[in-house]
Amino acid sequence: MSADDTLSALAARCGVFDQFRDLSGEDRATSPDTQRALLRAEGLEVDTPAAVAETLALLRAEDDARLLPRERIIPAEQPCCLEIARPGIWQLTLEGATEAFAEGNAEARIDLPALPAGLHSLQLQGKGAPQVCLLIATPQRAPLLPQKTGVAQVWGMTAALYGLPSPRNHGLGDFEDLAVLAEALGAEGADFLGINPVHALGWAAADTISPYSPTHRGFLNTAHVALDALPGGGSARATAGDLIDYPATTALHRAALEAAFEWFETNATRKEQSSFDAFVAEGGEALADFARFETLSAEHGADWRHWPDPDRLPSQAPGDPARLHLWLQWQAHGQLATAHERARGGGMALGLYLDLAVGARLDGAEAWAAGDTLAQGVALGAPPDHLSPAGQNWQLAAYSPRKLAAAGYGPLRQVLRQAMRHCGVLRIDHALGLNRSYWIPEDGSPGGYIRQPFDALTAIILIEAQRAGTLIVGEDLGLVPDGFRDTMAEKGFYGYTVLQYEKTANGAFRGPDAVRPRSLACFGTHDTPTIRGFWEGADIGWWRRLDWIDSDGEAEATRVRAAEKADLLGQGVAKLARYGPQDLADRVHVDLASCPAALVAVQLDDVLGVREAQNLPGTVDVHPNWRRRSPVSTADIATHPATQKIARIMAKAGRGASDN
């Protein structure tokens, strides 16, 4: 076997794709440099041909020595059996327990009793050292809408939390605004309110404003804490305007938070102190590490990779976490929980619909705390596609499949558990990442795909979703492997149907009747043009302005867009002059209401006729990403005539939990 063949064999064994097909239909081969970079990210020695051969031989030898698999996915609440290579004494310990649940001697197979959903440990003692198998006992599927609400179809609204304006907030939408809007929309028949991710962005990362670039997905962005709900917090108001002034807003808000914390330290009642202490105890090591990171980042800077030793390792970092950051998380979690409760109490059958970002920043708290389970020297991203012709490097950390499995998926479970804590629906951004991830090496090698432990990851999501009673929406846009969507649907995941992308092979839009029933349907996302922007070609104008397309490309895109508008309206291109963006919005919302999708989401921006998208992928500052405020005050959104019109459209189509 040649050196290249050995490298390819090792890459294939570790899940590195030898090629992938791009959106143009072209097959792109994975170069040897990329193969080595991705294998190196997994912690494997591949710098020389001899090292590659030795690594491959070592992995094969490890597999040959196994008496039972490293992990096995089994159905929860059902007896099953596990074949073993040689006789031995086995012992089964349930998740969270210290004493054996079952044990025995086995010759060729172990007959396991019915196990509750969770991650359990099976130990086998034969000749030599004992071996352990992780048993992932999974529910058959995630919770479904009829189980949760008693109805088959509902609707809700999605909005940018940061952009919700009110005379009482500090210049950035907060959790009180969220509660107020949810209660009001619930009274109009909406069964959920969806928002952008509210993960922590980092106390020292003052320049980070994208909700999809968090420091840690297991903790909350305290910039959304409502000051007037805090004793001693007072109020702070930044200058109003169409765009958020983050530096001014942040300075005012943090000063008020610190004052409220000092008030708490001096004046809190015994009951309040006990509640805070219980929250800290429940958060355990994960919360302590996060607060310690925030404390150290204030001293050393936002990027832990540039910190001095020993602070770069959580296990060696000295000192206790600042109580301020523990207290801030306590307040944020309490206010988000209250918002969800008020949403449900206000009539929403599902309450909040939250968003789980695909990853956390390379320089942030999640990467710092979970460093032993991360792929090294790579970042998550995407190859060139319809959203960004230049491709995208998200600068997000990637979990190593090998390392994460060895850690019992602990860091991921903590993130999932926290994400589902205060919501009725959770959207998993870029759900294709459960099957494969696009890694971009830091050494300049081209990016490539690596396979993820799909069955294990989805099983863990099902376990956490069942425990939380949360519906799961998997964002499954773009090119997905054959059968991926069907498999996700079988597991109870709701797909993500974006009407802008629902086209047939000849480029025509599919009718509303073709929408997948087990999906959440919407016209667009935070990354796509709004309905008005779609009509006016705002996205095309930005692509031309940024030289992503030339004048000929702009003309062609404009011609295609005219045909798309006519198709959506059911009219000829020649008749478009008779119509405008509101006509398109009305048609889209009627189509959404009547489609078979279980969940339908309308964007606040589309309801209010906003032109610019929340985000233009592939840009940072040239487009007003994550800065726009809604043109209507939060208190007035639900009673706005445009919202009332949407509510009537949805009610006429029979959407909603009628008894909520």
pLDDT at 71: 96
Which of residues 93, 108, 138 is at a domain's end?
A: 138
pTM greater than 0.75 (yes/no): yes
Question: Could you tell me if 331 and 182 lie in one domain?
Answer: yes
pLDDT in tens, 404-463: 999 999 999 999 999 999 999 999 999 999 999 999 999 999 999 999 999 999 999 999
pLDDT in tens, 35-90: 999 999 999 999 999 999 999 999 999 998 898 999 999 999 999 999 988 899 99
Question: Could you tell me if 123 and 150 lie in one domain?
Answer: no
Is residue 427, in this structure, part of any structural domain at all? no
Is residue 159, in this structure, part of any structural domain at all? yes
Mean pLDDT (the chain) is 93
Is residue 315, in this structure, part of any structural domain at all? yes
Look at the chain and report how many structural domains it folds into.
3
- Which whole-number Å values give the CA distances from 572 to 503, 507, 567, 575, in the listed order? 18, 15, 8, 6
Question: Could you tell me if 340 and 301 lie in one domain?
Answer: yes
Range of the domain at 39: 3-64
Is residue 443, in this structure, part of any structural domain at all? no
Residue 449 DSSP SS3: strand
Question: Could you tell me if 17 and 78 lie in one domain?
Answer: no
Question: Could you tell me if 168 and 315 lie in one domain?
Answer: yes
**Residue written as token pair 């925030």:** 294
Is residue 480, in this structure, part of any structural domain at all? no
pLDDT in tens, 369-419: 998 999 999 999 988 766 566 678 889 999 999 999 999 999 999 999 999
Parallel, antiparallel, or unpaired: how do β-strands 192-195 and 88-93 relate? unpaired
The rounded distance, in Å, linking the Cα atoms of 419 and 411 is 13
CB neighbours of 207 closer than 8 A, spacing ≥ 6?
A: none
Question: Could you tell me if 202 and 348 lie in one domain?
Answer: yes
Q: What is the CATH number of the domain that holds 239?
A: 3.20.20.80
Which of residues 35, 64, 93 is at a domain's end?
A: 64
Q: What is the DSSP letter of 374?
A: B
Number of Cβ within 10 Å of residue 43's Cβ equals 14
Please count the residues of the chain. Answer: 660
Tokens read off for 386: 């319809």
Confidence of residue 191 (pLDDT cuts 50, 70, 90): very high
Is residue 349, in this structure, part of any structural domain at all? yes
Q: Is the pLDDT of residue 330 over 90?
A: yes
One DSSP character per residue, 404-451 reads HHHTTTHHHHHHHHHHTTT-SEEEETTGGGGTEEEEEETTSPPPEEEE
pLDDT at 659: 45
Confidence of residue 309 (pLDDT cuts 50, 70, 90): confident
Question: Could you tell me if 324 and 179 lie in one domain?
Answer: yes
Question: Could you tell me if 270 and 123 lie in one domain?
Answer: no
Omega before residue 310 within 30° of 0, cis: yes
CB neighbours of 625 closer than 8 A, spacing ≥ 6?
A: 209, 210, 614, 615, 616, 619
Is residue 455, in this structure, part of any structural domain at all? no
pLDDT at 657: 67
Question: Could you tell me if 505 and 620 lie in one domain?
Answer: yes
Question: Could you tell me if 212 and 340 lie in one domain?
Answer: yes
Question: Could you tell me if 216 and 268 lie in one domain?
Answer: yes
R_g over Cα of the chain: 26
pLDDT at 319: 67
Query: Of 134-138, 227-231, 234-238, 515-519, which range is least confident?
Result: 234-238
Q: What is the CATH number of the domain that holds 79?
A: 2.60.40.1930
Residue 155, class by beta-carbon neighbours within 10 Å (0-12 exposed, 13-18 middle, 19+ buried)? buried
Q: Is the pLDDT of residue 313 over 90?
A: no
Is residue 554, in this structure, part of any structural domain at all? yes
**Mean pLDDT across 342-349:** 97
Q: Is the pLDDT of residue 101 over 60?
A: yes
Q: Which residue has the higher pLDDT, 144 or 5?
A: 144
Which of residues 111, 138, 165 is at a domain's end?
A: 138
Question: Could you tell me if 126 and 159 lie in one domain?
Answer: no
pLDDT in tens, 347-382: 999 999 999 999 999 999 999 999 899 999 999 998
pLDDT in tens, 507-536: 899 999 999 999 999 999 999 999 999 999
pLDDT at 660: 41
